[in-house]
Structure 1
């Protein structure tokens, strides 16, 4: 259906693809992955609109009917007061009306050939999307998405997550052969994410889905396209199997790279010795030996083992706070008495017991009551997630805490707060360059900004781009880079993992775990919530109910996973960490043994 052969494409300042090749056959469900900013959305747009691009190589798009597309961003016409059922029926009704119009024209027409051709063409379109059974098919799809009672609801009354699922259903019905989805999971709550998983798995046609969502990746796809460092890897199999194959390749590549470096270092020493001898003795023989050895060294360095899928950029996210960490306290104890150390430890403990936020009888009302008399408090250093369905006021309470102008909310005095927003325009001037947006971040020179942003994965050419031209994941990383410069005591994070690639998600989780300040996070990413939060405030009946992470895990995994999945996932993560540590220490044989154990775990998943 789709075939690329040695496809190359570049922006003025960046090579996106370097002779990449892949094939998408009938009925595969393919996940399209890669770090933020690698050009996934551009490649999708190239498939949808190939005539808009000047590229090298071949791109063959041979798809019967229209190509369906679900954007990562959704827009709903507020004037469109139609029901869910009518919205999903629009294309079928349009074709039915066209068929009826042609039939009416046939009754009075003298020349039927052209009308018969039009009639057959429209009938082919109608039958290609199973038009005779569209009403029952709509109800079937709504049931799969757990929206069976929604057919008479107005579109304008749906939450963002509900409307996203309706969009997916619509494209699956009117474009059954081939659909592209660009991060369809962004901002979906747990129930809607599970519904999206069911829709993907029940679809009979070909799907190409850009996603960083670990739940969907682990449960929905039988083919992987991985775009990294301008090159593409094609893998027939599940994401779990692909990750394991990538890890095996990493062990092999790093072992070969270590051997290469050992040989290079040995030859460097020989070159150095020959140079020293050549300066002492004027000898043509020694000069030729030196030249030959330098040439060999250059060849070794040029062909040393490297792989774009092993050398994947990982952002170095660090969240700083003005609160003095326990590590800093330990670092300052030289020259102190035992009593001084005890007092320092007590002061650190007291700091973490300090209440920094009190919410009492907080309520939110839009067209209906969303939150009612919500009461909770937070201590310094606490890590708390607000979790619940779409449209229940989670973002609103986070914004109200940040604005600090609601009498139901009290913040500790002199508390330094930083806010990560779903709406990037609230934080950045998107019409300005990345560089311009960091001029107030405490840097003395432009070079300092460039060096700093490089640690977050932004190459120099991106620093001079306008923020509006960045991908969603890059914009989120940019917010995190700005936040880390603020030395805030309290972070308010609204869907911080949205759009982030899996490597950035893991880096953020590690940064949150190390952060000494307090975090209040709205998130639908249950991996991040379960991995680095102290407890959850769960939205239930317009209130926030405190829930332990253990109970949260139990609730989520009971709804979404097989009985032993949580235990197997934890063992898998532990083995992956052990392999990582073994590779860092150069213990390749040990890493290989752990890899054998990991394969057994994966086979059980």
Structure 2
């Protein structure tokens, strides 16, 4: 369906791909992975509209290939007054109406030939998207996504997560030959994540899904496309097997590459010494020795082992811990309500102490983000902060905390940075490239925008953080770094999240929204709820252990400790077989 051959593409300030090649074939479910900002979304855009991009190499797309697309940003548009059924079936409903209109025209027209031709064209389009059975297909998809009860709700009444699932169903109904989804899992609650998994696995056509979500990666795909450092690897098989083979290969290659680097360094030192001696002592034999050593160095460079494919860019997120306050009530919410067309939260009350790290959870659409925004704005008598409490916020709606028209440099200067050197240093700490400074915020990936927000938080003096889905769009290593930073932070944290691992790794307890109310839940009870209602306990515990071991391998390789990396990899292999 799609063949990419030696494709290269660059932005003005950034090279994205260097002669990458791969194929996507009929029926394949491909996961497209790589660190934030590596160019995954851009490649999807190139597939959607290749004529708008000046790239080198070849991109062959079957001329009959119809491509569907679901954006990473769930924007509810002018269709918000449609019902869910009308929105999903919009194309079929329009074609059905058009067929009826043509039939009515034919009853009174004296020139029926052009109408017959128009009718056949419309009927072919209707049949191409399964028009005869579109109602039953919609019902089946809604049932798969556990959204049957939402059939007659207006689009405007859906939460962001529910709307994302409806977008997925709408694109699937159009029966594209290839369906591209850009981080469709972002902001989905535990139940909706399972629904997305079921939708992906029920889809018969080809899929290209950009995701960092390990749960989906482990359960949904039979091909992996991995973009890293301008290069791409493709792997036919499960993500679990790919990831393990990648680690094994990385250990071997990095050890060989490290050996070559050391040998080259020794040879360079010897050449430098010979050059110094040659300038001090006129001796033909020394000159011949130097030339021979230089030729040897050139041969060593030519045959050196290339560094392993994966380059670990783990940011060094350090949340400011200087503004610690004595143990006190940091936040008090008393008899607070949240309402739009209907009441979401009814007279809720809770307190958070100055050292508490608290996860705020609940189904999509229960008012978590709105509550967090109310707390940050602090414009209600029902919300109050303790003395000397300073807050900072990370928003899932990036335009609330970032000015899209700013360059990255302007954004940091506006925040209070005094020099470009300080800004570049801060970006580097957060695994962001220096060339980003001249790019517009609007041009950054979702992960890069989140990391910019985290970089600003790290430079603030806040002793209470309000975090709305902070791990969204972040790659695995950035998620791990953020979990460590939160664990080491000595202020209060209130974090909206649907990331099971982030919650259990760095939160003290949970506040759960249910039935328009809020109640405190211990981590033990939270785990039990997740195991009982959403994910298999054995899977989650295995995945957590697997993730810990993979991280240990990665960190051992970062220190070039190959013996430790191999030992940990041997511990990991039995877990892979259990999966």
Instruction: Say which SS state the counterpart of residue 60 (structure 1) adopts.
Output: strand
Greater Cα offset, 61-70 or 191-200: 61-70
- Cross-structure match for 1:338: none
Contact 1:352 1:379 in 2 (8 A): no
- Cross-structure match for 2:353: 379
Q: Distance in 1 between matches of 2:490 and 2:248?
A: 36
Q: Distance in 1 between matches of 2:101 and 2:331?
A: 65
Q: Distance in 1 between matches of 2:99 and 2:341?
A: 42
Q: Where do 1:276-425 residues align within 5 Å?
A: 276-301=276-301, 304-307=304-307, 309-323=309-323, 353-425=327-399
Instruction: Say which SS state the counterpart of residue 492 (structure 1) adopts.
Output: strand
Shift of 1:593: 3.7
Distance 1:362 1:97, change over 3 A: closer
Q: Where do 1:547-566 residues align within 5 Å?
A: 547-566=521-540
Greater Cα offset, 103-112 or 78-87: 103-112
Q: Distance in 2 between matches of 1:567 and 1:157?
A: 36
Distance 1:365 1:11, change over 3 A: same
Q: Which runs of 5+ in 1 are unaligned?
A: 325-350
Instruction: Say which SS state the counterpart of residue 149 (structure 2) adopts.
Output: coil
Instruction: Say which SS state the counterpart of residue 493 (structure 2) adopts.
Output: strand
Shift of 1:43: 1.0
- Cross-structure match for 2:518: 544
Q: Distance in 2 between matches of 1:72 and 1:422?
A: 12
Q: Where do 1:431-470 residues align within 5 Å?
A: 431-470=405-444
Q: Distance in 1 between matches of 2:13 and 2:559?
A: 37
Distance 1:81 1:440, change over 3 A: closer
Instruction: Say which SS state the counterpart of residue 510 (structure 2) adopts.
Output: strand
Q: Distance in 2 between matches of 1:368 and 1:103?
A: 44
- Cross-structure match for 1:22: 22
- Cross-structure match for 1:339: none
Shift of 1:419: 1.0
Instruction: Say which SS state the counterpart of residue 438 (structure 1) adopts.
Output: helix
Greater Cα offset, 408-417 or 301-310: 301-310
Shift of 1:113: 6.2
Give 2:503's match in structure 1, choosing from 519, 525, 529: 529
Q: Distance in 2 between matches of 1:138 and 1:411?
A: 48
Contact 2:254 2:307 in 1 (8 A): no
Greater Cα offset, 96-105 or 83-92: 96-105
| 1:215-258 Cα distance to aligned partner (Å, 9 max, x none) | 21222111111111111111111222221122112111221122
The two structures, once aligned, show a CA RMSD in angstroms of: 2.3
Shift of 1:579: 2.6
Q: Where do 1:131-170 residues align within 5 Å?
A: 131-170=131-170
Shift of 1:503: 2.2
- Cross-structure match for 2:543: 569
Greater Cα offset, 274-283 or 28-37: 274-283
Instruction: Say which SS state the counterpart of residue 544 (structure 1) adopts.
Output: strand
- Cross-structure match for 1:328: none
Shift of 1:128: 2.4
Instruction: Say which SS state the counterpart of residue 564 (structure 1) adopts.
Output: helix
Contact 2:501 2:544 in 1 (8 A): no
Q: Where do 1:3-14 residues align within 5 Å?
A: 3-14=3-14
Could you state the TM-score of these two structures normalised by the residue count of structure 1?
0.90
Contact 1:20 1:231 in 2 (8 A): yes
Q: Does 1:127 align with 2:131?
A: no
Q: Distance in 2 between matches of 1:582 and 1:410?
A: 46
Q: Which runs of 5+ in 2 are unaligned?
A: none
Greater Cα offset, 1-10 or 280-289: 280-289
Contact 2:267 2:297 in 1 (8 A): yes
Greater Cα offset, 499-508 or 380-389: 499-508
Shift of 1:45: 1.1
Greater Cα offset, 497-506 or 582-591: 582-591
Shift of 1:117: 4.5
Could you state the TM-score of these two structures normalised by the residue count of structure 2?
0.94
- Cross-structure match for 2:62: 62
Instruction: Say which SS state the counterpart of residue 413 (structure 2) adopts.
Output: coil
Distance 1:299 1:537, change over 3 A: farther
Number of positions where the alignment pairs a residue of Structure 1 with one of Structure 2: 579
Q: Distance in 2 between matches of 1:452 and 1:291?
A: 44
Distance 1:244 1:94, change over 3 A: same
Greater Cα offset, 390-399 or 116-125: 116-125
Instruction: Say which SS state the counterpart of residue 204 (structure 1) adopts.
Output: coil
